[in-house]
């Protein structure tokens, strides 16, 4: 199992359209537990696959950007 990149977007301006491929270069790492009530952007992929009883879905968390935390 690999770890998920958690980035701190609270004090750095960024544009998702332009900066998405390089967020890990623009934003610093986030080194604490995001508290209850925090707001974050979550990047993930979805995979669809066939199972005996129909369709299955797999969700793969790629990165998290913390954009707000309660005081």
Domain extents in the chain: 5-68
**Cβ partners under 8 Å of residue 64, min gap 6:** 4, 5, 6, 7, 30, 34, 40, 41, 42, 43
Q: Is the dihedral of CA 15, 16, 18, 24 positive or negative?
A: positive
Q: Are 10 and 66 in contact (CB under 8 A)?
A: yes
| Entry pTM | 0.82
pLDDT in tens, 14-71: 999 999 999 999 999 999 988 899 999 999 999 999 999 999 999 999 999 999 999 8
């Amino acid at each position: 199992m690999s770890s998920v990149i958690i980035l701190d977007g609270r004090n750095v301006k960024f544009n998702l359209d332009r900066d998405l491929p390089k967020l890990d270069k623009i934003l610093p790492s986030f080194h604490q537990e995001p508290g209850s009530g925090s707001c974050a952007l979550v990047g993930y992929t979805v995979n669809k696959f066939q199972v005996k009883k129909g369709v299955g879905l797999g969700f793969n968390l790629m990165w998290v950007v913390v954009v707000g935390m309660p005081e």
